[in-house]
Structure 1
Amino acid sequence: MSFRNKVIHEGTYYILRRGLGFGISFGGMLLLMRAIGIENYGLFVSITGIITFMGELCKLGINPYLIRSEAETDAEEERKQYDMAFTFVLLSSIVAMAVGVGVSFLLKSWLHNEHIQLPFLVTLLGMLNGAYLLPALAKLERGLEYRKVAIYELYNQIIYYAVSLALVYFGFGIWALVIGNLLQGLMAVAISFYFSRYRPRLYWSREMLGKMLKYGFGNTLSKRIWELRTLVNPLLVGKFIGLEAVAAVSISIRVVEALNFVNGAIQTISFSLLSKIQSDKQRVENALNEAMLLQIISLVPLLTGFGVLAHWVVPYFFGGDLETALHIYPFIAIEYSMFAIFSLPINMLYVRGANWAVTKFNLAYVGIFILTSYTALPIFGIYGYAAAEVLALAAYIVIHASIRSSYTLRYRMPLICMATCIPIVFLPVLPFPWALLLLVPVLVIMFGVFRSIEGMSYIQRIMKTKLIGASQGGKS
């Protein structure tokens, strides 16, 4: 199968699997939240949000280093890279767990919650799994084996929600989620081993580690600065408004992520793809312009569907306690729409090693976001968080300034499509059924865009490629 056909074949499969996974994740989340209560769910969100940030910090950008290598190495050298990554992340995770013990005392004081410390300490144990998962998954992504990655993610979600829901109904409360999370981590190691066949061993090379960290430090510094925004919900919203508000913001983010599953999949796939074609400027430029438009187009119909159904879906699943989720949802949706346009240019800067360019954007975005949240949350409540989401969008000017010197990007159509999203995302908070009148101009604009890019022709090309991939897979 050609490189292009392999990307489309594997990528389409990954997108569909990821969409199914988000459906399972979203449904499971609603059931868990209703079973253990909004406050307990907010408590668990705070715990996992902080520990996930710590776990990613331990990797120091080694994962994209393993994936992005343009030159093919021999099997033994590649194996040493994976073993070096395993050894380093194992050691850094052990150090992070020791630091986490001290963090647990600070959290108890900061959030004024005595019940957070013990679940936090137990959940810390899951950080050790990252030492194996990093090289195993990097091996799959480097080989563009996104079918296997998709199945791995789907099985993990099924295991987590099956175990957690079973324990919840046996009365384990928040501990059902803690135990489910730990078991999921162990099964993730087993599943990734089955697909990658990577057998870890301890290996140390100062020279090799130096190469990894030379690239990885800039990459991880940039990404960890970006991920500081994820701590605003558990640390600032939790402190100034409470754990129920943490759950509401988390629900809104998960809704938008579920609707944004196509973009999330494309973003994952694009790093490997852009790494393969990075030396061909014209191919990169064409890929960026095509993907920018397709990503925003893939998001608009899903935002439309949720906007129409939200008046019935949200009260049924969430009840009146989480009406706050509806009011914060439009602002989070706008931010994700903007990121959908710029995510591939950001990935391209990472591929080229232009980490400082992305770091400047992340510093500007996160600085505005955190400062506005800290200032506005005590005064305006949840709308202070909404204001922070909107004001931080100004930082995307930095990305445009960084990418335009190398590539010519066409923003006109993507920004028109994004503009159509803005009325749609406010449908859930506007009077019904008059809010549906906003759909008329939106549908007209999107139909015109779909025709202008020959959308049906593009879909037919994907289907043809899928059939070719299926037939070749059958022959093999």
Structure 2
Amino acid sequence: MSVSKKFASSAFWLVLGTSFGNISGILVFFVLARLLKPAEFGIVALASIFVDVSRIMVSAGIPEAMIQRETWDDKVASTAFWTSLALAGALCAVLIGVVAPISSAYYDPTLGPVVAALSLMLFIDSISIVHLAKLQREFRYKLVATRTMISNIAGGALGITLAYHGYGVWALVITRLVVGSFEAIVNWVSAKWQPQFFFSREALRSFFGSSMHLLGGQLLATANGHIAAFVVGMAYGPAAIAQYRVGARGLSMVVELTINPLQKVALSAFSRVQGEARGVGNAYLRLTKACSLASCPVFFGAAAIAPDFVAVCFGPQWEISGQVMAMLGLVVAPATLLYFLYPALTAIGRTQYVLFSNIAAFVTNLAVSLVTVGFGVVQVAAGSTIRAHVTLPFALLLLKRGLHVEWRKAIFGILPPFVASAIMALVVALVRHWFLMEWHIVPRLVAMVALGAVVYPLVLLVVGRRFLNENFGEFRAMLPNALRKGPFK
């Protein structure tokens, strides 16, 4: 099977798995948001920041390095496995022995035990991280998607049951641990690989340089994704961080359904592209153009419907989260252009550029969060979106140096969907304000989504007919065979 067909098949299964995960996730959160208090969500969200950053250190760039290798080497894989396990032990000791006691003493008594419990996720990750990389390099995304769907069903049922019986924050903690354990077991069994009692410095050095750049980039990217919420939590407490994180989660639910599946298989596909930087650069442009047809209306549309979407899905007590989601949704242009930049740079081994970009993003995001936090939670979200636009030229410079892609080609490549989506969002917002405010919130939300679904393609036909003709083939290749041979032929 060719790389393009593998990519299309992988994207299809990831879309299916992610779609199911998002729908089930919305339903589960719909219930949990009414059973748990915002402060309880906030405690777990704050603890997750420490744990998520540590989880990146446990991976140490290992999955990407293993995916990039031309052939699978059991000695290198075994070295990676034991390295990850050792890192998990060291970081778990720091979280339990240092972070947890300080958190309980100076922030909230519940935070320390939650940090200590969630630190077990480091061990869970370490025992299957190499196995997952093996599945990904073999394009076995059907299995990964099936695993995700099963774990979402079981995890959702467990979380709701525990929350209903009054477990509070521990309903979320226990659910994460159980789901993580299940996925690790599936990865281990499905990969059909067992680590050897072998460790080689030479094997470690074979991917050490690339992994260290990638690790730094991933650490900063993860910290960058959490820094605004962390600053909000430090300034206003657990309930405020929950409001911010739920707003961000509302946007990510929509994005994961449409965009993230393509990004997850991009590294595997880019790594098989011939022609070094220019070949990967051309692939980046094609994929970004095709992706913009979905990403632009998703982000702009999410911003337009955010208040009603959050209120319907999560409840009226999350009103601030709706405003946060609206502000974050306006990051459409930087998000679209950067979705495939990092996988493309990683595929050709230029991970230092990923590191440089994430350093700039982290420093500026931290500065903006500290400046805006005094004005409120929503203002922090607005500042984060502004920061993404201000630092975009630096990312475009890396695009030119790393992939030999001119910034004009990248920007003008997504312009028709951007313009059509902006017009769509404006129409939806104006119709809501002038005609739909007296409606019940559920039919109003449905009407807004339906209106956007009609306006966007009509406007795109006017402003981007040539763009549609050029990119139709890209989307046709991503369809299942049955559809590709049918009416889309």
Displacement of 1:108 in angstroms is: 3.2
Q: Equivalents in 2 of 1:328, 1:185: separation in Å?
A: 29
Shift of 1:449: 5.9
Partner of 1:340: 336
Distance 1:41 1:340, change over 3 A: same
Q: Give 1:89's match in structure 2, choosing from 77, 84, 87.
A: 84
Q: Match of 1:431, SS?
A: helix
Structure 1 counterpart of 2:57: 57
Q: What is the TM-score of this pair, normalised by structure 1?
A: 0.88
Q: Does 1:237 align with 2:232?
A: yes
Residues 225 and 464 of structure 1: is their aligned pair in 2 closer, same or farther, counting only changes over 3 Å?
Answer: closer
Tell me, yes or no, if the aligned pair for 1:369 and 1:389 is still in contact at 8 Å: no
8 Å CA contact 1:376–1:384 kept in 2: the answer is yes
- Match for residue 138 of structure 2? 143
Q: Which residue does the alignment assign to 1:130?
A: 125
Alignment match, 1:473: none
Identify if the C-alpha distance between structure 1 residues 458 and 213 changes in structure 2 by more than 3 Å, giving closer, same or farther: closer
1:308-357 per-position Cα deviation (integer Å, ceiling 9, x unaligned): 65564433333332111121112211225522222212221122222222
Matched, 1:431 2:433: yes
- Decide whether aligned partners of structure 1 residues 448 and 9 sit closer, same or farther in structure 2, where only a CA change above 3 A counts: farther
* C-alpha contact (below 8 Å) 1:296/1:337 kept by paired residues: no
Counterpart AA for 2:290: L
Q: Which residue of 2 aligns with 1:279?
A: 275
SS at match of 2:259: helix
For residue 60 of structure 1, report the CA deviation from its aligned partner: 1.5
Structure 1 position 395, deviation (Å): 1.6
Query: 2:443 aligns to what?
Result: none
The superposition leaves residues 32-76 of structure 1 with CA deviations (integer Å, 9 ceiling, x where unpaired) of 22211111012111112320111111222111100011x335xxx
State the Cα deviation string for residues 441-476 of structure 1 (Å, max 9, x = none).
75543234664223655554444645799xxxxxxx
In 1, distance between residues paired with 2:484 and 2:307? Answer: 43
User: How many Å apart are 1:393 and its aligned residue?
Assistant: 2.5
Contact 1:288–1:344 (Cα < 8 Å) also in 2: yes
Q: Is contact 1:84-1:203 (8 Å) kept? A: yes
- Post-superposition CA distance 1:89-138 (Å, at most 9, x none): 1110000011102012333355x212111121111112101112211110
**Alpha-carbon distance in structure 2 between the residues aligned to 1:125 and 1:240:** 28
Q: Contact 2:213–2:351 (CA<8 Å) still a contact in 1?
A: yes
How has the CA–CA distance of structure 1 residues 408 and 65 changed in structure 2, closer, same or farther, with 3 Å as cutoff?
same
The Cα shift of 1:139 comes to 0.2
Counterpart position of 2:71:
72
Q: What is the alpha-carbon root mean square deviation over aligned residues? A: 2.8
Q: How big is the shift at 1:288?
A: 1.4
Q: What pairs up with 1:298-317 in 2 under 5 angstroms?
A: 298-303=294-299, 306=302, 310=306, 312-317=308-313
SS of 1:6's equivalent in the other structure is helix
1:408 aligns with 2:405: yes
Q: Which blocks of at least 5 consecutive residues in structure 2 are unaligned?
A: 438-447
Q: 1:108 aligns with which of 85, 104, 119?
A: 104
Map residues 27-426 of structure 1 onto 2, 5 A cutoff.
27-69=27-69, 71-73=70-72, 78-101=73-96, 102-109=98-105, 112-261=107-256, 262-279=258-275, 283-303=279-299, 306=302, 310=306, 312-335=308-331, 337-405=333-401, 406-409=403-406, 410=409, 411-422=411-422
Distance in 2 between residues matched to 1:236 and 1:68, nearest whole Å: 36
Structure 1 gaps of 5+ residues are 470-476
Preserved contact between residue 293 and residue 414 of structure 1 (Cα < 8 Å): yes
Aligned sequence identity (%): 17
Q: Distance in 2 between matches of 1:204 and 1:432?
A: 67
How far apart, in 1, do the equivalents of 2:89 and 2:113 lie?
A: 18
Say which is worse superposed, 56-65 or 331-340, in terms of deviation.
331-340
The one-letter code of the counterpart of 1:256 is L
Residue number in structure 1 paired with 2:25 = 25
- The verdict on how the C-alpha distance between 1:357 and 1:458 changes in structure 2, with shifts beyond 3 A counting, is closer
Q: Equivalents in 2 of 1:468, 1:312: separation in Å? A: 36
SS at match of 2:340: helix
Contact kept? 1:251, 1:325, Cα under 8 Å: yes
CA distance in 2, matches of 1:309, 1:221: 36
Could you tell me how far apart the structure 1 residues matched to 2:259 and 2:160 are?
A: 29
Aligned equivalent of 2:5:
5
SS state at 1:202 partner: coil
Shift of 1:84: 1.3
Cα distance in 1 for residues equivalent to 2:473 and 2:64: 34
Deviation at 1:365, TM superposition (A): 1.3
Structure 2 counterpart of 1:474:
none
Question: Which of the numbers 460, 463, 472 marks the counterpart of 1:446?
Answer: 460
Distance 1:274 1:385, change over 3 A: same
Could you tell me whether the CA contact under 8 Å between 2:235 and 2:373 is conserved in 1?
Answer: yes
C-alpha distance in 2 between matches for 1:396 and 1:239: 28
Aligned length: 463
Greater alpha carbon shift after TM alignment, 201-210 vs 423-432: 423-432
Per-residue deviation, 1:423: 6.2
1:360 and 1:398 in contact (8 A); partners too: no
CA gap of 1:463–1:443, structure 2 versus 1, over 3 A, is: closer
Instruction: Answer yes or no: is the 8 Å Cα contact 1:5–1:465 preserved in 2.
Output: no
Aligned twin of 2:444 = none
- After superposition, the Cα gap between the structure-2 partners of 1:265 and 1:382, relative to the gap in structure 1 and judged at 3 Å, is same
Report the CA distance shift for 1:293/1:433 in structure 2 as closer, same or farther (over 3 A): farther
Q: After TM superposition, give the deviation of residue 210 of structure 1 in Å.
A: 1.9
**Does the 8 Å CA contact 2:4/2:269 hold for their aligned counterparts?**
no
The alignment partner of 1:369 has SS state of: helix
Contact 1:365 1:393 in 2 (8 A): no
Q: TM-score, normalised by structure 2?
A: 0.86
